[in-house]
Amino acid sequence: MAETYAGAIDRGLEGVVACTTGVSSIVDATLCYRGFTIEDLAANSSFEEIVFLLWNDRLPNSDELKTYETKLSEGMALNLELINVLKSLPTKDVHPMAWLRTATSLLALYDDKAQSTDDADRKEVAMKLTAQMGSLVALFERLRQGKDFVAPKADKSMAWNFLYMISGEEPQDEFVKVFDTCLILHADHELNCSAFSARVTSSSLSDIYSSVVSAIGALKGPLHGGANEQVMIMLKSIGSVEAAGEWIKTALANKEKIMGFGHRVYKNGDPRAKILRGMSKELNEKAGSPQWYEMSKVIDDTVQSEKGLLPNVDFYSATVYNSMGIPTDIYTPIFAMSRVSGWLAHIFEQFANNRIYRPRGEWSGKENQKWMPVSDR
């Protein structure tokens, strides 16, 4: 007889506390990275500073920040051998997240420190992965347009370089600032699905690349990071501000999930969505496309009144990226470009205090089966 368990099964591990963490925290509607509120960091910090904060548990001094800025921007360059191998991967009808997952795995084969367990080597691997995730996304975008890789500029930020590398044109200051804020907002989020995946893989004492590839796979799904792309697809298929309310009511009546709404932890709103809502309004008005924000607002109001659900980080980020001319299917890869910094902080934390994750599953299958020869079946 299979073992059964007296306690309730926590489907989706809701409410289960799986580890301690000092990386980021969510209390009610307050998100903090290393004890600093997301509002404070989004208003005052830079993505490079956030990377330092997440990995070192404190803000950098000016020399330390300069070092991170230099390492990250210089690290964005991809070597020619790797570019040539990546050029051989298909891009047509390939989802950029699938390509990014494969490309990140390939990156490990060109890194002689990939398997090292030395702390300094691991930090180098982390720096390279964080610097190059955005370069891989940019390379994918260029390759599918039949264009060449644009080399990053060493004296520019990661946000500046990413926008430059996807378009080949120097970005406007305003877009750089907005994009940098988006990177800050997406950098970490406690024990979310992808960070947990990274930690589960690390807990077997596997290597950093394997852990990050696990996390990319988890982020790709539409219930997690993949929702931002789905939000823009939904807005485009609704088509107009006037149609939005009825469209949503019909979808809810059909028991469909509205992408970009709801959250396992936040019940009183996602603080990142509030910041992104303001950015979406301003940017879409300036871009001469206010309908995207207005449509989003109607959807927001309708989902709240009909279902009591609030928008999460993925809802308004979609129209922020759209207003900047970023292709819809690279919204989730951009999420990965930022979140890799948080995954790495979690991986380091897991290595520092490891115990393998190994939960149980209550048996719900057949009992007492007996094998018989194929001729008798």
The residues carrying an active-site annotation are 263, 314
Identified binder of ligand ACO from the candidate list 42, 165, 259, 344, rule CB under 6 A: 259
* C-alpha to C-alpha distance for 98 and 295, rounded to whole angstroms: 30
- List phi, psi (to 5°) of 305: -75, -35
Q: x/- binding map, residues 184-223, to ligand ACO, per CB under 6 A?
A: --------x------------------------------x
For residue 134, state whether it binds ligand ACO (rule: CB under 6 A): no
Identified binder of ligand ACO from the candidate list 144, 156, 224, 277, rule CB under 6 A: 224
For residue 314, state whether it binds ligand ACO (rule: CB under 6 A): yes
SS3 assignment, position 254: coil
* Residue closest to ligand ACO when measured from CB atoms: 262
Stretch that binds ligand ACO, among 28-36, 105-113, 169-177, 312-320 (CB under 6 A): 312-320
Judge whether 252 and 307 are in contact, CB under 8 Å: yes
For residue 321, state whether it binds ligand ACO (rule: CB under 6 A): no
Give how many residues touch ligand ACO by CB under 6 A. 19
* C-alpha to C-alpha distance for 236 and 15, rounded to whole angstroms: 36
SS3 assignment, position 261: strand
For residue 313, state whether it binds ligand ACO (rule: CB under 6 A): yes
SS3 assignment, position 30: strand
| Residue entry with tokens 């709240």 | 304
- CA nearest neighbour of 208 among 138, 125, 103: 125
Identified binder of ligand ACO from the candidate list 225, 271, 333, 342, rule CB under 6 A: 225
DSSP state of 311: B
- The H-assigned helical ranges of the chain are 38-44, 47-56, 62-75, 80-87, 96-109, 119-144, 158-167, 173-186, 193-202, 208-219, 227-238, 241-253, 271-286, 290-307, 313-323, 331-352
**Between 146 and 359, whose beta carbon lies closer to ligand ACO?**
359
**Between 98 and 223, whose beta carbon lies closer to ligand ACO?**
223
Identified binder of ligand ACO from the candidate list 12, 35, 90, 278, rule CB under 6 A: 12
For residue 262, state whether it binds ligand ACO (rule: CB under 6 A): yes
List interacting residues with ligand ACO (CB under 6 A). Answer: 12, 192, 223-225, 227, 257-264, 307, 309, 312-314
